[in-house]
Amino acid sequence: MTRYSVIEGKNPREIVLLRGRGCAWRRCKFCDYHLDASRDEQANLALNRKALSQVMGVFGRLEAINSGSFAELDESTVREIERVCREKGVRDLHIESHWLFRRTLPALRARFSAQGVRLHVKIGVETFDADYRERVLDKGIDAADPAEIAADFDDCCLLFGLAGQTAESMARDIRTGLAYFDRVCVNIMVPNTTSVKPDQAARDAFIHQVYPLYRDEPRVDILLDNTDFGVGELE
């Protein structure tokens, strides 16, 4: 598992893939990466320290993700992130959170802000089609209005290449994401251990009709493979 990388392209930043206690939701039908988790705080800390020790602070911007939400990281790891931000001059910290933890975010923003670090919190929305999102994907967001979702979050993730999606629906999702969020991160479904399979027609529609429109959009990250940020199962 590769746990540190440098993203040179859009929004240049360093990125670490940390390990926490595990996703509290664990119900998203397409997801198996919540398996990257441990309840052993000392083991998590040792692993996370190793990844964080590689951070150089070159861009003053760090993305710290775990397979779940930032709130599921142990306190000892959060303190280690704070130390690295302080020592390496990181002023912008990108993290991820499930909707479940939205009420914890204001205090977390204040905690980091007091140290001169601005948090950018990304939520996996996957699609703004609320019915599909909840009925098919079981995402666990009990709000349909994008403005309500965006109220607590800065950035969003979308998941494309799923059965039923069309070029039109995917482009609409990106337009909605850009209207309500600072940044949009598009993930393309890849085969994994879940029963949700990539849909070739939806993938082709994205590649040929949607990708060219947003490939150079600075506010849109597009991961054609889920390791395109350089972390995850690369070996």
Nearest to ligand SF4 of 58, 136 (CB atom)? 136
Widest CA span in the chain: 48
Among 31, 123, 186, 188, binds ligand SF4 (CB under 6 A): 31
Binding track, positions 149-188, relative to ligand SF4; x by CB under 6 A: ----------------------------------------
3-state secondary structure of 179: helix
Span from 28-36, 82-90, 167-175, 221-229 in contact with ligand SF4 (CB under 6 A) = 28-36
Nearer to ligand SF4, 31 or 84 (CB): 31
Please, what is the minimum distance in Å from the beta carbon of residue 158 to ligand SF4?
A: 12
Strand, helix or coil for residue 193: coil
Q: Which range of residues in 18-26, 42-50, 162-170, 216-224 is near ligand SF4 by CB under 6 A? A: 18-26
Cα distance between residue 46 and residue 19, in whole Å: 10
20 binds ligand SF4, rule: CB under 6 A: no
Contacts to ligand SF4 from residues 52-111, by CB under 6 A = 67-68, 98
Q: Which is nearer to ligand SF4, 84 or 153 (CB)?
A: 153
Q: Is 28 in the site for ligand SF4 (CB under 6 A)?
A: yes
Q: Which stretch binds ligand SF4 (CB under 6 A): 7-15, 26-34, 74-82, 173-181?
A: 26-34
The size of the interface with ligand SF4 (CB under 6 A), counted in residues, is 11
Are the beta carbons of 14 and 5 closer than 8 angstroms? yes
- Beta-strand pair 4-7/13-18: antiparallel
3-state SS class at 20: strand
> Cα–Cα distances in Å, from 204 out to 29, 170, 213, 226?
22, 12, 14, 17
Does 124 contact ligand SF4 by CB under 6 A? yes
User: Residue 90: how many CB atoms within 10 A of its CB?
Assistant: 27
36 contacts: CB under 8 Å, gap ≥ 6 = 1, 17, 19, 66, 67
| Contact residue for ligand SF4 among 3, 13, 19, 34 (CB under 6 A) | 34
Question: CA–CA separation, 142 vs 214, rounded Å?
Answer: 29
Nearer to ligand SF4, 124 or 177 (CB): 124
Rg (CA), the chain: 17
- What's the start-to-end Cα distance of the chain, in Å? 7
Query: Which chain residues interact with ligand SF4 by CB under 6 A?
Result: 23, 25-28, 31, 34, 67-68, 98, 124
